[in-house]
Structure 1
Amino acid sequence: MSPQTLVRARRRVGMVAGGVAALLVAGMMTAADAQAATGCRVAYAVSAQWPGGFTANVSVTNLGEPVDGWTLAWTFPSGQRVTQAWSASVTASGGTVTAANMSYNATIATSATVTFGFNGAWTGSNTAPASFTLNGAVCTGNLDGTGTPTAGVSPSVSASASPRPSDPMAIVAAMQPGWNLGNTLDAIPDETAWGNPLTTRAMLHHVRSQGYNSIRLPITWSNHHGAAPDYTIDAAWLARVRQIVDWALAEDLYVMINLHHDSWQWINTYPSDRTNVMNRYTALWTQIATAFREHSAKLVFESINEPQFAGTTGDAESDQMTQELNTAFVRLVRQTGGDNATRLLVLPTLHTSGEQARLDALNATFNELRDPHLAATVHFYGWWPFSVNIAGGTRYDSNVEQDIVATFDRVHTTFVSRGVPVIIGEWALLSYDYTRPGIIERGEFLKYIEAVGHHARARKLTTMLWDAGSFLHRPELRWRDQGIYEMMKASWSVRSGTASSDQVYVPRTGAVTSKSLTLNLNGTAFEGLRQGSTDLVDGADYTVSGDTLTLTPAALTRLVGNRAYGVNATIEARFSQGAPWQISIITYDPPTQAAATGSTNSFAIPTQFRGDQLATMEATYADGSPAGPANWTSFKEFWSNFQPDYTANTIILKPEFFAEVNDGTVTLTFHFWSGTQITYHVTKSGTSVTGTT
């Protein structure tokens, strides 16, 4: 049965409440080699059932010698048939069903478990199989042929596997570094709705090959379950989630799953609708935890993404709401038994904020629960003015640095120093987006990346990059900016050297003069400059005095070539460790602008950029007070209020900017990365706008 058919069936009739499940525990049969201990245990559970169809999960634990290549066979007693399988190749002959390993899960070590699942069809009844054989040996749950197959165990009883102990600090350390499959399973209403392609095994393999050790799977469940009181999760959706989880585990990735945009879709009404929200929350996590309770300890559960609440009296009451949901989450997951008894569970602060009050509130929850298998999570998107380019926050400066240090110090002191691991479940900058270039200058972002990696590593924090498509180009499995990836990768283990800028501007006309940059060595040693495979010559092409790097006129004259506008050459500063620092050699003239007319809904300033790039814009009234949105600062938010269009040679002023501008004249000051500043005047009268230089 296809997933589409399953969805249609679910909408027509719904799943049978409670489902049907059986856990079968069996033992072994002596193999041909009398010296080799053999034995196996099988857990078979029907996690969802509806008229004519069902979803089953099968976990096979090897109790004997390691197995390299396996087939599990059984007979359906009621004539059921498998219609779709994952993590195994399933065939049928008569009434006998055989599931064979995939290439990535062929080996089952002693005491290890392999898991697969399938959708099936049934008529009349859906009785569980009575016994299983692994490579021809009957599974009875013991070694050397002892034991008798039993059936009919409730799925809420963890008879299939004893809980595996976990070391939270070791698990979280092993998860570093991590990557988010953003805007995918969390997209509304489905996986590709927000522009990303379907997730593939090859994609997850690529992520692992790039050095990532964990993957966070944000999942929005609200569009994929039935009505109260059961809130039964759609079988096809759960199967798809399980497939991606199993792929990731097979790639040796740690995996973290959660309730994601549910946080603002319905969980946020908890203060005014406590019973219904808690019932829904409980039903979803009970189903999810039950479906995955026999999965590897490398699967981690996170209760809620960025918890937030409507209608509370303030953060203190919202902290209490977060505590109630986190506490309920831990208790109900533990009650599902199996490996969930010791599975690592991750609890967020309110808003996943790193503020001390929020950390203290979560710490109180840990003290109340006294559960040794928990971790804390916060999100980090940097100092807000820099993260969105507002209030002049164009550069990685002391404000940005101190924000990193202070936040990471707080979470380390509150949790890590007391033995509770911390996962930075999302990090990046809020406005870093390949579809909106120029908001964050590349070199300034590289310095931020380097610092986040260093300060997190020094404080034993695991970081998980938020990637909704801006970093990994998923259709082609390549990084959109290889240099950004290289800086991230280096930051996982060492510091990298940087510089005051990654741009050197050379005027298009006139004599070429020397240009200097300040090196940020970060504990490294400067080793030289290179263009492609050619080393530049110390003394002739550049000099270094202390931390000042100076490019000579002779080198710059050669690098700018015919002095066409824009980037004419790229060189690299190399250090004793870490990623090299790329420097663009740019030819420019000061930009020019022209008069314009338009409306508050459509206004663009003709601008000849002439090789330069826009950094930010100020807006003030005649008396010097800030004009437009965010009237506490004269510097407006890049892209939200204004946007350069280098192809059309214009700077667009957005309707959102004019919506908060008084009638009259506003003085605009445009700041460019070359250091050039241009003043321009716009006059608003109702919906009409005129602009003059």
Structure 2
Amino acid sequence: MQVKRRTRRWVALATMAAAVLAAGLGMLVPSIAYADEGCEVEYTVANQWPGGFTANVSITNLGSAVNGWDLVWTFPNGQRVTQAWGATTTNAGDQVTATNVSYNGSIASSGSVSFGFNGSWTGSNNEPASFALNGTVCDGGVVEPTTPPTTTPPPTGSVNAMETVAAMQPGWNLGNSLDAVGSDETAWGNPRITEALIDNVAAQGYNSIRIPVTWDNHQSKSAPYAVEDAYLDRVEEVVGWALDADLYVLINIHHDSWIWMADMNTNRTVVEARYEAIWTELADRFRDAPQELLFESVNEPQFNNVDDATAYGLLDDLNTSFHEIVRDSGGNNAERVLVLPTLHTNADQGRLDALSDTIAALDDPNIAATIHYYGFWPFSVNIAGYTKFNDEVKADLEGYFDRAYNEFVANGIPVLVGEYGLLGFDAHTGTIEQGEKLKFFEYAGHYANEKGITLQLWDNGQHLGRTSFQWSDPELFAMMESVWTGRSSTASTDQVFIAKSGSVTDATITLNLNGNTFQGLRNGSTQLVQGTDYTISGSTLTIKASKLTSLLGDRSYGVRANLHAEFSSGADWRISLVSYDTPTVSAASGTTASFAIPTSFKGDQLATMEAKYADGSNAGPQNWTSYKEFARAFGPDYTAGTIGLTEDFFAEVNDGQKVTLTFHFWSGKTVTYYVTESGGNVTGSLS
């Protein structure tokens, strides 16, 4: 569990800041010099993992005001800056020059600015010996002026968007509560929010909480479109609990985006009036709230029956109106970080470009961009045979974050992934096989850190129990938590299938070390013996047949043992030893509303299902692929011993035509079955 690093958020901004630069001094002719000169630099390695690290740099100006700066240092151990925010960096061998970006070039006398970076290292990662600001060594002293002074700019504000968003990592969503569509926050099945829940979220190690809010049922449908005071009071209560728990907080307009805002092109006057009324009341209500509260203009903006160009214009109008209302309300809203989404909150390049144009026009340093990420779609819902976290799934993730980084982070605009997860979780958290799921979350967390992007987990109640405060999937939480500060190792699989009726042979697994080193293999609390029970050669782990035989025992079906590979850092990797035989299925009859195939799984687990007609064409929904969507078209019930086919599946099956189903199991075995639907009745057979 992560230890909190601050007592109040505004203290954290000085200590956690942005991920930033590490240094040692090299010689440089000053590019700018001013009046009396002096400075101090605080350099902190915030996170470190094998081969990489995140550093924070804070510059305090002890002399006259500075308008534009270069900070120079030399790395002592060959480190390199790989990505920076809050500064632009250049490298000349071991020497690094960090130059201010547009929003932090002015440093008042006794004022400070911060920036951050990710770096690489090998061997050692010692701190730089010294730094120089505009040619002056930052040793805490003050020297006489070397050049005439220039006009002193006004001091910068106390809020820095890049530092704020960096400090929000990691984040969590209070989904399906205040955003529920209905009479109150319990309408979608979650209990009322309690202060204990909020405190527990903070205790888990989260630094921020996104509180989605749907206003539709709590807003008058006629001018002046007032929001219920009682509802505003409730939102304020929950926000207050979160701020008291030392969390950054993000509130927004949520499902209104599709309930009534999507009709903006044909109902513009009403949509704008309702939207502006909500933000006017929120800006007034939270005018003096601390800067740890952020506003998000709208969740997943979308517009009915318009092309992209029109949609971009509509969203620009909403974002601009939101910005004007909040900034004009004064108080802490004058500098509060405001979060603006792309169209549909995705990272297609056109969406990013359109939002970038809006942000440039606003010319406000305290703006953040937000996108959502639910993974490569076929993998995320388990369709089209994408059952594994393969290179294509990985490339989609990298491309998504790379585009957001290049468009925004590299230009000093922070990015918040306000929701991330897997879409298949909406149907069933077991839609994606456990090990493949863990690999996705490990890599997503790692790559976001590499790109300086903050993630907020979408949780509508399926992950952290709202009253038990227990994780429904402790392995998943352990994996997510591990990448807050480094990387975890994974493997080619988390399952070793051994046929019950077959001979036992050595089992070989490829480890994805991710910069860590293998430390050992255990069964429960018992450490297995290297050389006797297993061997390790580079990234190849081989479990000996003799040990497998011992662990399998009587070889009854199912998981016979759970081994855990241990590494120098991060979470352990579980390897389940499974005794199985090829599953068998039986004939059945039923209706399209209720049809289940009796199945003896014999220890095996279902990965996916294909559906084809006799002529080889694809059957069922989404017939561009023969592989159907897990949990939407079909799903196993291991307790009941059945594989169910859904009404949605049969809705798109040709009446009277036999469909060949091929069930693919994780052992590698396949089983064929036939179904025919006629007039709502279904028969299933083995031939």
Where does the alignment leave 5 or more consecutive residues of structure 1 unmatched? 1-161
Cα distance, 1:525 vs. partner? 1.2
C-alpha distance 607-633 of structure 1, shift in aligned 2 (>3 A): same
C-alpha distance 564-466 of structure 1, shift in aligned 2 (>3 A): same
| 1:343 pairs with one of 336, 346, 350 | 336
Residue of structure 2 equivalent to 1:105 = none
| 1:389 pairs with one of 368, 382, 405 | 382
Cα distance, 1:217 vs. partner? 0.2
Maintained 8 Å contact 1:571/1:584: yes
Residue of structure 2 equivalent to 1:379 = 372
Residue of structure 1 equivalent to 2:177 = 184
Maintained 8 Å contact 1:617/1:669: yes
CA–CA separation in structure 1 for the residues paired with 2:591 and 2:672: 20
Indicate yes or no: 2:355 matched with 1:362: yes
Cα distance, 1:564 vs. partner? 2.1
Matched residue type, 1:638: F
Instruction: State the secondary structure of the residue aligned to 1:257.
Output: strand
Indicate yes or no: 2:264 matched with 1:270: yes
Residue of structure 2 equivalent to 1:517 = 509
Maintained 8 Å contact 1:327/1:365: yes
Matched residue type, 1:641: A
Indicate yes or no: 2:467 matched with 1:505: no
Instruction: State the secondary structure of the residue aligned to 2:218.
Output: coil
Matched residue type, 1:357: G
Residue of structure 2 equivalent to 1:604 = 596
Cα distance, 1:228 vs. partner? 2.1
Instruction: State the secondary structure of the residue aligned to 1:639.
Output: coil
CA–CA separation in structure 1 for the residues paired with 2:161 and 2:680: 60
Instruction: State the secondary structure of the residue aligned to 1:322.
Output: helix
Cα distance, 1:317 vs. partner? 1.3
Indicate yes or no: 2:605 matched with 1:613: yes
CA–CA separation in structure 2 for the residues paired with 1:198 and 1:654: 33
| 1:635 pairs with one of 621, 627, 635 | 627
Indicate yes or no: 2:668 matched with 1:653: no
Residue of structure 2 equivalent to 1:108 = none
Indicate yes or no: 2:489 matched with 1:478: no
Cα distance, 1:361 vs. partner? 0.4
Cα distance, 1:163 vs. partner? 11
Matched residue type, 2:524: G
Indicate yes or no: 2:291 matched with 1:297: yes
CA–CA separation in structure 2 for the residues paired with 1:466 and 1:456: 15
Residue of structure 2 equivalent to 1:230 = 224
Residue of structure 2 equivalent to 1:201 = 195
Residue of structure 2 equivalent to 1:493 = 485
Indicate yes or no: 2:210 matched with 1:216: yes
CA–CA separation in structure 2 for the residues paired with 1:379 and 1:510: 47
CA–CA separation in structure 1 for the residues paired with 2:203 and 2:241: 14
Indicate yes or no: 2:405 matched with 1:407: no
Cα distance, 1:227 vs. partner? 3.5
Cα distance, 1:546 vs. partner? 3.0
Matched residue type, 2:169: Q
CA–CA separation in structure 2 for the residues paired with 1:480 and 1:363: 39
Indicate yes or no: 2:312 matched with 1:322: no
| 1:261 pairs with one of 251, 255, 258 | 255
Which stretch has the larger CA shift, 254-263 or 580-589?
580-589
Where does the alignment leave 5 or more consecutive residues of structure 2 unmatched? 1-154
Matched residue type, 1:353: N
Look at both structures and tell me which one has the larger radius of gyration over its CA atoms. 1
CA–CA separation in structure 2 for the residues paired with 1:399 and 1:231: 47
Matched residue type, 1:287: E
| Deviations, residues 7-62 of structure 1 (Å, cap 9, x unaligned) | xxxxxxxxxxxxxxxxxxxxxxxxxxxxxxxxxxxxxxxxxxxxxxxxxxxxxxxx
Maintained 8 Å contact 1:163/1:339: no
CA–CA separation in structure 1 for the residues paired with 2:286 and 2:157: 14
Cα distance, 1:437 vs. partner? 4.8
Cα distance, 1:371 vs. partner? 1.2
| Deviations, residues 510-539 of structure 1 (Å, cap 9, x unaligned) | 322221111111111111101122111111
Matched residue type, 2:243: L
CA–CA separation in structure 2 for the residues paired with 1:258 and 1:437: 26
Q: Percent identity?
A: 55
Cα distance, 1:689 vs. partner? 2.3
CA–CA separation in structure 1 for the residues paired with 2:440 and 2:469: 24
CA–CA separation in structure 2 for the residues paired with 1:678 and 1:390: 18
Maintained 8 Å contact 1:164/1:339: no
RMSD: 1.4
| 1:169 pairs with one of 162, 166, 172 | 162
TM-score, length of structure 1 as denominator length: 0.75
CA–CA separation in structure 2 for the residues paired with 1:228 and 1:689: 51
Instruction: State the secondary structure of the residue aligned to 2:423.
Output: coil
Matched residue type, 2:336: R
Cα distance, 1:168 vs. partner? 0.4
Matched residue type, 1:431: G
| Deviations, residues 232-269 of structure 1 (Å, cap 9, x unaligned) | 21111111111110110011100000000110111111
CA–CA separation in structure 1 for the residues paired with 2:430 and 2:333: 46
CA–CA separation in structure 2 for the residues paired with 1:641 and 1:218: 30
Residue of structure 1 equivalent to 2:420 = 427
Residue of structure 2 equivalent to 1:288 = 282
Residue of structure 1 equivalent to 2:542 = 550
Residue of structure 1 equivalent to 2:74 = none
Instruction: State the secondary structure of the residue aligned to 1:208.
Output: helix
| 1:526 pairs with one of 514, 518, 521 | 518
Matched residue type, 2:215: W
CA–CA separation in structure 1 for the residues paired with 2:377 and 2:429: 18
Instruction: State the secondary structure of the residue aligned to 1:463.
Output: strand
Maintained 8 Å contact 1:388/1:429: yes
| Deviations, residues 336-376 of structure 1 (Å, cap 9, x unaligned) | 11110111000000000110110000001011111111000
CA–CA separation in structure 1 for the residues paired with 2:158 and 2:266: 39
| Deviations, residues 190-230 of structure 1 (Å, cap 9, x unaligned) | 11111111111111111111111000000001111224212
Instruction: State the secondary structure of the residue aligned to 2:551.
Output: helix
| Deviations, residues 378-416 of structure 1 (Å, cap 9, x unaligned) | 000000001001001111001110011000000000000
Q: How many residues align?
A: 530
Instruction: State the secondary structure of the residue aligned to 1:420.
Output: coil
Matched residue type, 1:401: K
Indicate yes or no: 2:664 matched with 1:671: yes
Maintained 8 Å contact 1:306/1:348: yes
CA–CA separation in structure 2 for the residues paired with 1:599 and 1:168: 57
CA–CA separation in structure 2 for the residues paired with 1:420 and 1:296: 21
Instruction: State the secondary structure of the residue aligned to 2:425.
Output: coil
Residue of structure 2 equivalent to 1:353 = 346
Indicate yes or no: 2:683 matched with 1:690: yes
Cα distance, 1:164 vs. partner? 5.9
Residue of structure 1 equivalent to 2:326 = 333
Which stretch has the larger CA shift, 559-568 or 492-501?
559-568
CA–CA separation in structure 1 for the residues paired with 2:679 and 2:274: 50
Residue of structure 1 equivalent to 2:569 = 577
Residue of structure 1 equivalent to 2:527 = 535
Maintained 8 Å contact 1:382/1:403: yes
| Deviations, residues 580-603 of structure 1 (Å, cap 9, x unaligned) | 101111111110011122233322
Maintained 8 Å contact 1:601/1:655: yes
